[in-house]
Amino acid sequence: MGYLNNNIGYPKDILQSRAIIKRNNYALIEPNGLVKNVLPGFENCDVTILATPKLGASFVDYLLTLHENGKNTKPFGANNADSHAAPDIETFAYVIDGKVTATAGEQTFNLDAGGYVYCPPGVAMFLENANGKNSSQLFLYKRRYIPVLGYHADIVSNNVNALEAIEYEGMSNVILKDLLPKELGFDMNIHILSFKPGASHGYVETHLQEHGAYILSGQGMYNLDNDWLPVKKGDYIFMAAYALQAGYAVGNEVFSYIYSKDCHRDVEL
Ligand code: UGY
Ligand code: MN
């Protein structure tokens, strides 16, 4: 294990962190402090595990850096002891930066920044750096798929630049992109919300659905369980079920984050 930003050695300042961990409520994780995890089947990669069930999430998020010749040799999402895709785990990968060759079952996709791929359960996802000597960075997600009779999810790949920009809830300064189809076969979606400086949510949300959000650009003031926290590009936020949440964009840049949200399933008792 090492530290992701290689910020090691004698401290240059007092030891402090913006990270806040409130299990089963919310977590703010800043880049300083993130570690590199060695996982089976990931070669020439730095893998950082973000939200997990230990934090209160029903999913797992990761940051993945593929270095030169970096790739996974067993499917992302496969169980530790297996070499094949888990039959009940869905996976998603988004290219933050660089170029990646992604394989989803029999299909191959060449992904640039903003490109993404979704694999339904049982479909093997492989990722390989296609950026030569330069690294590529990805945001990954996996979760146990909840089937519903008569519906299924398919492989999806696209680039966010090709997606419709939707005015979010009647506000022209907040733009939403839905990365996956809004169909009953999908039990979750991945979205990107982008706030122009000064824009905000229309209200503080309180909902059952969980989010894992990675901030792609800009800065914001974010309300998590009524704590107002400064957040910025590179931060990761976990919002558990019912966590109060809303944000204002501050500064000069568009405040934008990619996030997961479970959907389309009734609560089982
Ligand atoms: O889709 C959502 O629930 C989204 N508006 N939540 C969020 O941005 N925290
Ligand atoms: Mn929400």
What are the pLDDT digits (tens) for 164-207?
Answer: 999 999 999 999 999 999 999 999 999 999 999 999 999 999 99
Q: What per-residue confidence (pLDDT) applies to 2?
A: 60
Q: Report whether pLDDT(1) > 70.
A: no
Name the strands in the sheet holding 255-262, side by side, starting at the edge strand that comes first in the sequence.
20-22, 26-29, 236-239, 211-217, 255-262, 188-195, 171-178, 166-168
Residue among 177, 195, 205, 221 to mutate when testing ligand 1 (max atoms within 8 A of CB): 205
Q: What per-residue confidence (pLDDT) applies to 98?
A: 98
Closest CA to 226 of 243, 248, 249: 243
- Pocket of ligand 1 from Cβ distances under 6 Å: 191, 193, 205, 211, 245, 261
Q: What per-residue confidence (pLDDT) applies to 117?
A: 99
What are the pLDDT digits (tens) for 139-159?
Answer: 999 999 999 999 999 999 999
Q: What per-residue confidence (pLDDT) applies to 8?
A: 84
Residue among 166, 168, 261, 264 to mutate when testing ligand 1 (max atoms within 8 A of CB): 261
- How far away, in angstroms, is 84 Cα from ligand 2 center? 33
- How far away, in angstroms, is 245 Cα from ligand 2 center? 7
What are the pLDDT digits (tens) for 7-43?
Answer: 889 988 899 999 999 999 999 999 999 999 999 999 9
Task: Tell me the C-alpha to C-alpha distance, in Å, between residue 211 and each of 52, 90, 227, 237.
Answer: 12, 16, 17, 8
Which atom belonging to ligand 1 lies closest to the Cα atom of 191?
Answer: 1
Q: What per-residue confidence (pLDDT) applies to 4?
A: 84
- How far away, in angstroms, is 207 Cα from ligand 2 center? 7
Which atom belonging to ligand 1 lies closest to the Cα atom of 239?
Answer: 9
What are the pLDDT digits (tens) for 92-109?
Answer: 999 999 999 999 999 999
Q: Which residues, chain by chain, have CB under 5 Å from ion ligand 2?
A: 205
pLDDT average, residue stretch 57-79: 98
- How far away, in angstroms, is 199 Cα from ligand 2 center? 16
Task: Tell me the C-alpha to C-alpha distance, in Å, between residue 180 and each of 158, 173, 260.
Answer: 9, 22, 10
Q: Report whether pLDDT(3) > 80.
A: no
Q: What per-residue confidence (pLDDT) applies to 6?
A: 82
Averaged pLDDT of the chain: 97
